[in-house]
Amino acid sequence: LEAGGKSPNIVFADAPDLKKAAAEAASAIAFNQGEVCTAGSRLLVENSIRAEFVRLICEALKTWRPGHPLD
């Protein structure tokens, strides 16, 4: 049972690099299958950039592959 991992990633429209922010948010969500006490499993995004940011996160997650966690 993993009881932690509800740390939010908060992204505002004036973020200097949305692509980097999306890559970091994707990593925070998916790293170690999300079984980290500080897993960023919540994402709060300013509404004006929501659609673009979700697209960027999906793009970043396409590079992640399921498999053995120690590989």
Residues marked active site are found at 2, 37
4-38: string of b/e by CB count within 10 Å (b at 16+)? Answer: ebeeebebeeebeebeebbbbbbebbbeeeeeeee
